Structure 1
Amino acid sequence: MEKYVLSKTIAIVLGALTIIAALGYGFLFLLGTSLGQALHSEIDTSATNKLTLLILISLLIVGVITGAGSFGLNWNVWRIVYCGFCLVLGICLLVTFFISIGAIGSTYEFMILCISMMYFWMGYLVKKKK
């Protein structure tokens, strides 16, 4: 069996899940913003919109790097960078899960937790060359 087959498979699935989570988060953001404007909210959201769009774009880029980056695992330097990338994202998503408990709904919170655990698992698999 070829090296990194399991890692590449998980990376493609995980990249797709990250992109889906970003699009779901974007949908919730647009829904909340639209409802706020429809109800004539007095809060200025121009600074919040820029930060939220930056987060959405960052999540989409992370999803693409996760999926496409797995095809360069045969190079030693990229493998080390990719393993660190996976572990850092796993930690960040785990912290995000704990921060968002009760805020965005149990479905999205559970999805963030699952994606975090999958990033940890993928970092482990890349380290073990599976």
Structure 2
Amino acid sequence: AEEIMEAQSPINVWPSETRAFRASGSVDSPPKWADFKDPLDAISTRFRSRMPKERADGQFLSPEDRKALKTLGLGEDADRRALRSAYSAKVRAYHPDKNGGNRSYEKALQDVIAAYTHLKTSPAFI
């Protein structure tokens, strides 16, 4: 009987947490629907400054793509040639053979290799 009363309690009606709002009443990030094509800019104008910039060629970049570009020190409009040259420069800078066997850059080297491996298969760079 106690389990039934507990299950029917108004406290258990909404078991999941709701999205938190700031004291000013605005949300932390734009809603999922804010990136649709809005001809009158009635909805997406509020979040335009926080929306990711589009590439000049119109290709879509995922958040993982943007993170990988940042790891390589490239901007969003980088092309495949810039990607390869930045990768080569970073590998030369972080490789232990170029640092006298210093392994302190090993994590950075792994991050650069992972970023390049991700980006070279990304649809924006094929």
TM-score normalised by length of structure 1 = 0.37
Decide which structure has the larger Cα Rg and report it.
2
Q: Which has the higher contact order (CA 8 A, sep 6+)?
A: 1
